[in-house]
Structure 1
Amino acid sequence: MKVAIVGAGLTGSLLACFLARRGLSVSVYERRADPRVGQVERGRSINLAISERGLDALRRIGLVDQVMADALPMKGRMIHPVSGPLDFQPYAASGDRAINSISRSALNNALLSAASAAPGVSVVFEHRLVELDSASGRMVFATPSGKVSVSADVVLGADGAGSAVREQLLAEGIVAEDVDFLDYGYKELSIPAVDGEFALDPGALHIWPRGTSMMIALPNPDKSFTCTLFWPAGSFDALTTGAEVSAYFAEHYPDLLPLAPDLVDDYLNNPVGVLGTVHTLPWQAHGRTALLGDAAHAIVPFYGQGANCAFEDVVELDRCLDDTGGSWARALRLFEARRRENTEAIAEMALANFVEMRDKVASPVFRLTKQIEHFLERLLPGTYVSRYELVSFSTTPYAEVQRRVRRQHQALGASVAAAACVLAAAWRVWRRP
């Protein structure tokens, strides 16, 4: 059995590690040169927040300690207002749970090295998919030396939101695609270490909420921070000179300016990225060609679940192969049936969390709501669990998270209404002459 994986990014590399344990012959094809010997494209790092779903996948293949050695735990959000004190908001009621900041490139390189070393796995670079026959498994790749044709029994597209495999399936009329672009772009900035130390608290994900826009910052092992601006589309074009950039940030992000000596250069020269949600139907064709990860269902990054969700795809596909006795045709159909509602659920929650991070986290009402939520979690351990904890610190299916949180809110609303009725009745009795 020969399996071809298109894409040697996070999902493809992890998938190769899982499939190698099955004794399969796995070939991974990557359009880029080997990222372990090149430089990361400027302004395209976007740190990742790895949480329980991603950690679960890494544990299953014995890589969690190695891969996460340089990760930095973040136990909550640090809110930076335009003026006034910082506000730390813990993620968990206990205060001891954390999501983990890690460089996308560092994680990719670690997984790619593990895949390359796995028995039965070969990784080839500078192979860009230009033709695919999904029924036969025949592929044509463009390489520096010309086109090459290869075939495989199973073809798995793990090549990201701009998937060439999905593009080929679209051209064949096999799948339908709906891409919902967010009317926002992103641009990266950086905060270097100060005298060899972190300039900000490394135990938090820092957020500068500004209503219709925001910036976040995640810590790096070299004591720097990677910052990402999320602004409405077109807003970045409004600032064209160094003086305009400095003046704008002095007014809207006053505490950032003294910490980011390269801010003007980063702003004027780093690219603007786009954000969107990809919906694909179906994810597989002929029982031998399939999409997974961002290639099937890319989401916006505001819940920190993009990589975690993709890693969970790999775990589920592996489980489906077990449950179908290794039948790829049955496993691919089962995989889509099990995962689709969950990926749709996290796509919805990621969009909702953008509004929370951008608009709500600085609100006194929001802070009070979170305090009440944490109180209920301590009062009713295991019974009342917040949406954030279920998403980030468990492997509860995303769709079940939505259903459970809905039930919790309904029960809480009913309890509050009942308590209000009891109090009102008591008040009426007390008021009687």
Structure 2
Amino acid sequence: MEESPGGPSQKKVVAVVGGGLVGALNACFFAKRGFDVELFETREDIRQAKIVRGRSINLALSHRGRQALKHVGMEEKIVSQGIPMHARMIHSLNGKQSPIPYGKKGQAKRENNRLVIYLSSYPVKLMCRVNFVFLRSDGSEEQVEADLIVGCDGAFSAIRKQFLRRSRFNYSQTYIPHGYMELTMPPINGEFAMKPNYLHIWPRNTFMMIALPNLDKTFTCTLFMPFEEFEKITTGDEVIEFFQKYFPDAIPLIGVDALKRDYFRLPAQAMVSVKCSPYHIGSKCVLMGDAAHAVVPFYGQGMNAGFEDCIVFDEIMEQFNEDFSAVLPEYTRVRVPDDHAIADLAMYNYIEMRAHVNSKWFLFRKHIDNLLHFLMPKTIIPLYTMVTFTRTRYHEAVARWHWQDRVINRGLLFSATGALLGGSFLLIKNPPDINKLLVPAEKMWSRLVALRTS
């Protein structure tokens, strides 16, 4: 920190609002830099709670998130509590299972369904059970002063609501017409009911089910489907009839009674995509994580994008010597196009997961892309590899993907055209002898007549 003429300057105070994944990690980034960090959370401290309430959701940790965790010394702590996933496992209607690898050998995502906060490693003051105006337990208001407020309070951010009061703040919120419902697949004889190192997918064109492994040997199965389809099923027998039609191999693994019971335990939940800009107000407030860019879960990048927000902000802090007046506008300039790109990709990937993986053309193109990547690893890089296993900026990955797609499709078209023209030229140059072809045909016809009359 800079020193004033009268001695060392007072540490800047950073107030992080939201103690979830991104808020907790952000607090560690700021504390590592020597700021006084106060973390505000409406829920109780889950490190001390006997029962942690809320929905369980599986999270895929990939390269971007791991790099952010590594920066604050937490990578191995978190990774050790996850399960590596090497490929998608596609379940067809007849029960056949076909793997589709994520990337090159050795590349894998790690699934983790625990909210683990290692704040004890850093001097962070955690204040739980407070709302946005920071009410004390006796009902009086507490005045909090900070040099920077960081909004990490989720898709329905209270901090972002203050941005909406300002002019020239762009904001869009989109609910997709599909909801999701979680079911549990228990262990069989103390072991996983299916192969654990895969993202299991049952693609059914307009809807799908996925299953992710947990450390307790269960699978969390998530059914994604249009709300009107959920609402058509009103009885336990209709649940079983629906699963027998679309997911027959899952029934004995989940259990008939469990399906009838758990399907009606909670209604299908909605999924929202949020885009906004700018991410900052002056030099005093900035949005990160879902508060800035909530995305639907189909690319497994929601948490990773939020974690990458932290490391991108830290890199810009380093670039501009912690001058918030320069850091915040630059963060908005750099990050907005990337976060909007991953929001769009997440929407696209739902279509790919529920429908395209059944397409022979899609599988053929996957093989072509992987082959070209193997032959030209620096020239052709599959989109999934760029997004999941590198820190290529999201919007640059999308632009490169479109370019590669055009080049490969044109190459395939030229190859097919060349093969057709080449075959036609050979036929013209060396026409077949019609008489030789007619003789075997006449013999075959004679045999058929003889068989019919015998």
The answer to whether structure 1 residue 184 and structure 2 residue 188 are counterparts is no
Query: What letter is aligned with 1:100?
Result: R
1:231 alignment partner, SS class: strand
1:255 alignment partner, SS class: helix
Q: CA–CA distance in 2 between the matches of 1:327 and 1:38? A: 41
1:248 alignment partner, SS class: helix
Given that 1:76 and 1:90 are in contact with CA atoms closer than 8 Å, whether structure 2 keeps it comes out as: yes
What's the counterpart of residue 8 of structure 1? 19
What's the counterpart of residue 399 of structure 1? 395
Query: What letter is aligned with 1:218?
Result: L
How much has 1:311 moved relative to structure 2?
0.6
Spell out, residue by residue over 1:283-322, the C-alpha distance to the aligned partner (whole angstroms, 9 max, x if none).
Answer: 1112111111110111111000000001111000001111
The partner residue of 2:325 within 322, 326, 329 is: 329
- Cα RMSD after superposing both structures: 1.8
What's the counterpart of residue 250 of structure 2? 256
Q: CA–CA distance in 2 between the matches of 1:143 and 1:186? A: 37
Given that 2:95 and 2:249 are in contact with CA atoms closer than 8 Å, whether structure 1 keeps it comes out as: no
Query: What letter is aligned with 1:184?
Result: H
What's the counterpart of residue 351 of structure 1? 347
The partner residue of 1:100 within 110, 134, 144 is: 110
How much has 1:412 moved relative to structure 2?
2.1
Query: What letter is aligned with 1:323?
Result: Q
Q: CA–CA distance in 2 between the matches of 1:195 and 1:207? A: 23
Given that 1:58 and 1:64 are in contact with CA atoms closer than 8 Å, whether structure 2 keeps it comes out as: yes
Spell out, residue by residue over 1:148-184, the C-alpha distance to the aligned partner (whole angstroms, 9 max, x if none).
Answer: 3312111010011111111122245573321011111
1:361 alignment partner, SS class: helix
1:148 alignment partner, SS class: coil
Matches within 5 A, 1:70-219: 70-92=81-103, 94-103=104-113, 106=114, 108-109=115-116, 112=117, 114-119=118-123, 121-129=124-132, 140-146=133-139, 147-172=141-166, 175-219=169-213
The answer to whether structure 1 residue 305 and structure 2 residue 317 are counterparts is no
What's the counterpart of residue 56 of structure 1? 67
Given that 2:95 and 2:248 are in contact with CA atoms closer than 8 Å, whether structure 1 keeps it comes out as: no
How much has 1:252 moved relative to structure 2?
1.7
Shift of the 84–256 alpha-carbon distance from structure 1 to 2, 3 Å rule, reads closer
Q: CA–CA distance in 2 between the matches of 1:241 and 1:411? A: 51
Shift of the 96–407 alpha-carbon distance from structure 1 to 2, 3 Å rule, reads same
Query: What letter is aligned with 2:320?
Result: T
Q: CA–CA distance in 1 between the matches of 2:342 and 2:388? A: 11
5+ long unaligned stretches in structure 1: 130-139
1:365 alignment partner, SS class: helix
If asked which structure has higher relative contact order (CA below 8 Å, sep 6+), I would say: 1
Given that 1:5 and 1:16 are in contact with CA atoms closer than 8 Å, whether structure 2 keeps it comes out as: yes
The partner residue of 1:381 within 374, 377, 387 is: 377
Given that 1:116 and 1:122 are in contact with CA atoms closer than 8 Å, whether structure 2 keeps it comes out as: no
1:13 alignment partner, SS class: helix
Shift of the 412–362 alpha-carbon distance from structure 1 to 2, 3 Å rule, reads closer
What's the counterpart of residue 134 of structure 1? none
- Structure with greater Cα Rg: 2
Q: CA–CA distance in 2 between the matches of 1:429 and 1:228? A: 54
The answer to whether structure 1 residue 408 and structure 2 residue 404 are counterparts is yes
Q: CA–CA distance in 1 between the matches of 2:25 and 2:168? A: 26
Q: CA–CA distance in 2 between the matches of 1:235 and 1:295? A: 30
Query: What letter is aligned with 1:410?
Result: R
Q: CA–CA distance in 1 between the matches of 2:366 and 2:154? A: 34
What's the counterpart of residue 234 of structure 1? 228
Given that 1:71 and 1:100 are in contact with CA atoms closer than 8 Å, whether structure 2 keeps it comes out as: yes
Matches within 5 A, 1:247-286: 247-261=241-255, 262-286=258-282
1:377 alignment partner, SS class: helix
Given that 1:116 and 1:123 are in contact with CA atoms closer than 8 Å, whether structure 2 keeps it comes out as: no
What's the counterpart of residue 316 of structure 1? 312
Identity %: 38
Query: What letter is aligned with 1:232?
Result: P
Given that 1:174 and 1:285 are in contact with CA atoms closer than 8 Å, whether structure 2 keeps it comes out as: no
What's the counterpart of residue 39 of structure 1? 51
Q: CA–CA distance in 1 between the matches of 2:189 and 2:59? A: 25
How much has 1:426 moved relative to structure 2?
4.4
How much has 1:345 moved relative to structure 2?
1.0
Shift of the 194–422 alpha-carbon distance from structure 1 to 2, 3 Å rule, reads closer
1:49 alignment partner, SS class: strand
Given that 2:180 and 2:225 are in contact with CA atoms closer than 8 Å, whether structure 1 keeps it comes out as: yes
5+ long unaligned stretches in structure 2: 1-11, 431-454
Shift of the 364–427 alpha-carbon distance from structure 1 to 2, 3 Å rule, reads closer
Q: CA–CA distance in 2 between the matches of 1:286 and 1:325? A: 17
Deviates more, 1:418-427 or 1:166-175: 418-427
The alignment of Structure 1 onto Structure 2 pairs a total of residues equal to 414
Q: CA–CA distance in 1 between the matches of 2:364 and 2:61? A: 27
How much has 1:82 moved relative to structure 2?
1.8
Given that 2:15 and 2:39 are in contact with CA atoms closer than 8 Å, whether structure 1 keeps it comes out as: yes
1:392 alignment partner, SS class: helix
Query: What letter is aligned with 1:115?
Result: L
2:371 alignment partner, SS class: helix
Shift of the 289–86 alpha-carbon distance from structure 1 to 2, 3 Å rule, reads same
TM-score with structure 2 length normalisation? 0.87
How much has 1:422 moved relative to structure 2?
4.7
